[in-house]
């Protein structure tokens, strides 16, 4: 149903906006959004990789950085799809404060959880805890 509904809405919006501002400006806006999406896709992919590496270097799990990167990449891909509805959704994925709120919402919903984002233990597993630590075996005899 989604694959039918979104293109119909996109076509409707393109026709309405084209009626308001003209066909050529609409075509130029769509082309500009596609070019911006391609540039952002490359930039966000590299930035996500850099944030993940930095998190690993600090000894942290890069889950939040990776999730924000995935959301940003989805936003860039949405910009590549011609249409105004997908462009508006892409803005929610690409504007850093909005992206951060979206990631926090995903984390709170329990889809993905992280102690660094205030998620903590997921609701369905509140009775269990996983403790991380290090150990070593000392074979020396005293």
Q: Could you report the per-residue pLDDT of 50-93, keeping only the tens digit for each?
A: 888 888 888 887 777 888 888 988 988 898 888 999 999 998 89
- The pair of three-digit structure tokens given for residue 25, joined into one six-digit string: 């400006």
Average pLDDT over residues 98-110: 84
According to the model, what pLDDT value does residue 28 have? 95
Q: What percent of the chain stands above pLDDT 70? A: 85
**Distance of alpha carbon 17 from the chain centroid:** 28
Residue 118 sits at the vertex; the CA angle it makes with 116 and 123, to the nearest 5 degrees, is 120
State the chain's mean pLDDT as an integer.
81
Reduced to 3 states, what is the DSSP secondary structure of residue 104? helix
CA–CA distance, 51 with 61 (Å, rounded to integer): 11
> Residue 31 pLDDT > 60, yes or no?
yes
Q: Find the range with the poorest average confidence among 35-39, 85-89, 119-123.
A: 119-123
Question: For 108-114, which contacts have Cβ atoms below 8 Å and span 24 or more sequence positions?
Answer: 112/63, 112/67, 114/61, 114/63, 114/64
């Amino acid at each position: 149903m989604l694959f039918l509904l979104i293109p119909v809405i996109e076509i409707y919006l393109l026709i309405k906006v084209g009626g308001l501002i003209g066909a050529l400006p609409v075509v130029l806006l769509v082309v500009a959004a596609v070019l911006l999406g391609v540039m952002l896709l490359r930039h966000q992919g590299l930035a996500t990789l850099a944030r993940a590496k930095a998190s690993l270097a600090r000894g942290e799990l890069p889950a939040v950085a990776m999730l924000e990167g995935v959301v940003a990449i989805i936003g860039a891909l949405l910009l590549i799809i011609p249409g105004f509805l997908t462009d508006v959704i892409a803005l929610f994925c690409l504007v850093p404060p909005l992206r951060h709120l979206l990631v926090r919402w995903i984390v709170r919903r329990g889809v993905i959880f992280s102690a660094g984002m205030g998620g903590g233990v997921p609701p369905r597993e509140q009775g269990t805890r996983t403790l991380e630590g290090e150990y070593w075996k000392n074979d020396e005899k005293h």
